[in-house]
Structure 1
């Protein structure tokens, strides 16, 4: 018997769990899962837009991992008005160890890591966007993602950081001086919650 979760394309994968609903208590319970069980170990970050842009809400949370390896990737979904046409938009923020493949799944590209799809990063080209992550300016490069979305990827706290937006034009959000905080370090009491994101559940 093999207890691994398996994908028909990628073989063994980590199980991915999504909270059915989202509110402060659920977020607190997920954050408790992420805190390291042994002294000196690093927690997997759970990135969130903070402060939330006007009209934006937290709309879901998920994590990848099992009882043996612990949580090795997280995703937080947010929804709000798009920066250009003010129509509805969704953004997911993924933090993951190399080789997990959760971020590429949301970006709509194959494989476990974004390397072959990063536009210009290997050639030393300047970053396409910068956000402040836990107070530090962090470069993000565009990823050749699926046509219905835009995706950017960088590195923070030694892990991949993905920002994937629907529709594709909502990717301009990353140009709006965004700041991200790690909810494992601090859970703002002013977070606003909305209806569950369909994008998290479609990947579960």
Structure 2
């Protein structure tokens, strides 16, 4: 039996839609897009997310050497479709030890990326992109700027915009953020590509 959906902003409990409202509701944050329990890393899970996604499902391709896809998650329901997608990856960092990475695409206002980043708001905040970008990656073959955001101290947070949606790249430990800045990542939208994706064990980072 799958766990219940939670709030995308605090990962707390939410109230289901009722005869009075079609929205999911968090006592702390009001009406929200429900964050669904994570999907294990498998081709079947990928199909579930990509078929209902109204936002991109981003994957760095080719994957950095030694990296594996370690799960999927989403915010949305059957009525609205997937309005935030999360792809989890794990592998060796450029420094000693393993690393974890979440790539998140979400509609403005959902707040899932900010929650994973450790922010209180639903977005990166005003002025986050006032200076030069801290990293550039390719998104569907186009250079895309990302800026560092000060989130929780145990992770590195980069955020930008692609196809009208927020694009978050969040790495643990903080030193693993150099992967985003230096690895020349190229993101593909899994809704449009059938790739032979290598899978690993389910990432605990998806629990929020």
| 1:70-125 deviations in Å (ceiling 9; x for gaps) | 2211110000001122x11000011001000010011010111112472xx1x3x2
Whose helix proportion is higher, 1 or 2?
A: 1
Is 2:140 the partner of 1:134?
Answer: yes
Partner of 1:163: 169
Partner of 2:16: none
Partner of 1:74: 85
Moved more, 20-29 or 162-171: 20-29
Partner of 1:37: none
Is 2:121 the partner of 1:115?
Answer: no
| 1:44-69 deviations in Å (ceiling 9; x for gaps) | 10001110111100001011112332
User: Structure 1 length as normaliser, TM-score?
Assistant: 0.87
Moved more, 153-162 or 68-77: 68-77
Q: What's the secondary structure of 1:99's corresponding residue?
A: coil
Root-mean-square deviation (CA, aligned residues, Å) is 1.5
**Quick one: distance in 2 between partners of 1:152 and 1:167?**
13
1:172-187 to 2 correspondence within 5 Å? 172-175=178-181, 176-187=183-194
Query: Among 30, 37, 40, which residue is 2:49 paired with?
Result: 30
Moved more, 109-118 or 67-76: 109-118
Asked if 2 retains the 8 angstrom alpha-carbon contact of 1:61 and 1:77, the reply is: yes
Partner of 2:17: none
**Quick one: distance in 1 between partners of 2:157 and 2:55?**
21
- The number of equivalent residue pairs is 188
Query: Among 36, 42, 51, which residue is 1:17 paired with?
Result: 36
Asked if 2 retains the 8 angstrom alpha-carbon contact of 1:117 and 1:143, the reply is: no
Q: Shift in Å at residue 3 of structure 1?
A: 5.1
What stretches of structure 1 of length at least 5 have no aligned partner?
A: 35-42
Partner of 1:154: 160
